Amino acid sequence: MPRRKSPELSLTPLELEIMKVLWETGPANVQTVQAKIENRELAYTTVQTMLNVLHRKGKVKRQLKDRAYLYRPVLSRRKAVSQAVGDMLDRFFGGSADDLVLNLVETRQLTPERLAQIQKLLEENREETDGND
């Protein structure tokens, strides 16, 4: 059954860009984040507003250092990916991971080599699970 999409969970494209900077650099102030965002010019106040939104959403924490806030990610990259994939599964595939994989195969985005790697991983996981009984 599809999960309900919570606006608190999903990241907008700009929020994701900012989170990527924080994941890569660690704690940073607004000026650092602004300087590291690639492929677009953003005003200082825009970055500051977006960091405050992320703070309200609980995705980052901030700490006052000298006269500027340092922002650090609370949301891990792995958790963000998991949430985004779950959202995509719900929106496009009715929550079915099988349908997603079938679509990737049908559109030739999964090569036979990658499918073989996936099969190997599945077999390894099955062996580990069977061994833990």
Q: What is the pLDDT of residue 2?
A: 47
From first to last of its 133 residues, what are the pLDDT tens digits of the chain?
Answer: 444 455 556 899 999 999 999 999 999 999 999 999 988 899 999 999 999 999 999 999 999 998 999 999 999 999 999 999 999 999 999 999 889 988 988 898 888 888 899 889 989 888 887 776 5
Long-range CB contacts (within 8 A, 24+) of 3-8: 3/86, 3/90, 3/95, 5/87, 5/90, 5/91, 8/57, 8/58
End-to-end CA distance of the chain: 29
